[in-house]
């Protein structure tokens, strides 16, 4: 068996004198070289995976940052959705209160689901529902409420026209000497029904139209003497009796506040005054129910009738 090779490693000083000699068997050197070769080959195979892993780690870090940003935006969106739900709830409650005095027939029908309904299995406060789905649902409710507002606008427009046609002001200023309803008759000992109110006023005071209207009667009546009747539309008329003069003509259009007659003492009357009467569908009603002015005539205990 031959002698194995050895590798000698000499360590020499700068002045050339030998200090140390290290003998290494050849198989050790071969093993070291082989190990280095295997390591280099392994690194050559591993490096691409390592580089890819580093790239993926960077991409993952960036994705995590984006997800955190999106989560922040999502939290803000969900918070805003909660606010919108609360605002819509308030609006729907307000609409219900506005429509309530007019009755269920006047209010528009609700076709959509309310907030907090069973849509998508989510309640009003359930933030697990997808934001887009919740936004679509809220958008549908907003559209529905928008139609409700438009219906309310149309209804109020009609109502305002009706209100504008109501005889809501005093035709003349003075004390109310005889009110609407049962009263003691000035001509007999028994009581009688008084179909209007008697407002004390001297002869010749201007009588103002309490609302826009059309002259439908201007002439004499046995009880009220010179009499004027205005038609205000919506089955509502006003009558003025015991006049001294009528200043408008038949079929004439009058505006609120126009002078239509002068007070007097004609017909069956015990003194100068104005008999003022409101009729709805041909039946007398209490004029006080229509007069909205805060200040006006006061009821007196006695006076001309």
Query: Is 278:285 a contact under the CB 8 Å cutoff?
Result: yes
Identify the pLDDT of residue 32.
78
Query: Is 242:275 a contact under the CB 8 Å cutoff?
Result: yes
Task: Give the total number of structural domains in the chain.
Answer: 1
Alpha-carbon span 248 to 259, nearest angstrom = 8
- Range(s) of the domain holding residue 198: 176-289
Work out the end-to-end distance of the chain between its first and last CA atoms, rounded to an integer number of angstroms: 159
Identify the pLDDT of residue 26.
67
Instruction: Let me know if residue 250 belongs to a domain.
Output: yes
Instruction: Let me know if residue 119 belongs to a domain.
Output: no
Identify the pLDDT of residue 108.
61
Instruction: Let me know if residue 201 belongs to a domain.
Output: yes
Tell me if residue 233 falls in helix, strand or coil. Answer: strand
Query: Is 272:250 a contact under the CB 8 Å cutoff?
Result: no
Instruction: Let me know if residue 244 belongs to a domain.
Output: yes
Identify the pLDDT of residue 65.
83
Instruction: Let me know if residue 284 belongs to a domain.
Output: yes
Identify the pLDDT of residue 76.
78
Query: Is 235:179 a contact under the CB 8 Å cutoff?
Result: no
Query: Is 268:236 a contact under the CB 8 Å cutoff?
Result: no
Identify the pLDDT of residue 117.
42
From the first residue on, what is the mean pLDDT of each consecutive set of 10 residues in the chain (305 residues)? 63 65 70 77 73 75 82 77 75 70 60 43 48 71 70 72 84 91 75 90 96 96 95 94 97 96 93 95 92 57 43
Give the residue carrying structure tokens 């109502």. 159
CATH number at residue 210: 2.70.70.10
Instruction: Let me know if residue 246 belongs to a domain.
Output: yes
Using CA atoms, how far residue 130 sits from 77, 84, 126, 137, 250, in Å, is 11, 15, 10, 11, 70
Nearest to 253 by CA among 209, 205, 204: 209
Tell me if residue 237 falls in helix, strand or coil. Answer: strand
Instruction: Let me know if residue 169 belongs to a domain.
Output: no
Residues in the chain: 305
Classify residue 86 by its DSSP letter. H
B/e letters for 50-62, b = 16+ CB within 10 Å, e = fewer, are eeeeeeeeeeeee
Instruction: Let me know if residue 138 belongs to a domain.
Output: no
Alpha-carbon span 181 to 196, nearest angstrom = 8
Identify the pLDDT of residue 112.
45
């Amino acid at each position: 068996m031959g002698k194995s090779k050895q590798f000698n490693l000499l360590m020499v000083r700068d002045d050339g004198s030998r200090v140390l000699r290290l003998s290494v068997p050849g198989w050790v050197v071969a093993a070291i070289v082989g190990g280095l070769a295997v390591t280099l080959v392994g690194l050559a195979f591993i490096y691409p995976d390592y580089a890819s892993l580093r790239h993926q780690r960077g991409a993952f870090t960036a994705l995590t940052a984006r997800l955190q940003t999106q989560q922040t935006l999502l939290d803000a969106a969900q918070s805003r959705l909660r606010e919108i739900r609360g605002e819509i709830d308030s609006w729907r409650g307000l609409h219900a209160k506005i429509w309530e005095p007019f009755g269920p027939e006047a209010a528009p029908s609700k076709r959509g689901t309310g907030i907090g309904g069973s849509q998508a299995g989510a309640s009003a406060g359930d933030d697990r529902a997808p934001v887009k789905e919740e936004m679509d649902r809220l958008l549908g409710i907003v559209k529905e409420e928008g139609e409700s507002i438009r219906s309310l606008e149309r209804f109020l427009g009609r109502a305002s026209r009706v209100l504008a046609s109501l005889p809501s002001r005093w035709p003349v200023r003075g004390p109310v000497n005889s009110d609407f309803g049962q009263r003691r008759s000035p001509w007999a000992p028994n009581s009688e029904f008084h179909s209007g109110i008697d407002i004390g006023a001297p002869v010749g005071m201007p009588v103002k139209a309490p609302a826009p209207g059309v002259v439908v009667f201007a002439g004499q009546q046995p009880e009220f003497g010179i009499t004027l009747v205005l038609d205000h539309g919506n089955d509502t008329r006003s009558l003025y009796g015991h006049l001294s003069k009528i200043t408008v003509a038949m079929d004439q259009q009058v505006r609120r506040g126009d002078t239509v007659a002068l007070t007097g003492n004609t017909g069956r009357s015990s003194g100068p005054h104005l008999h003022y009467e409101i009729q709805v569908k041909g039946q007398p009603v209490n004029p006080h129910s229509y007069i909205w002015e805060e200040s006006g005539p006061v009821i007196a205990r006695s006076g001309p009738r």
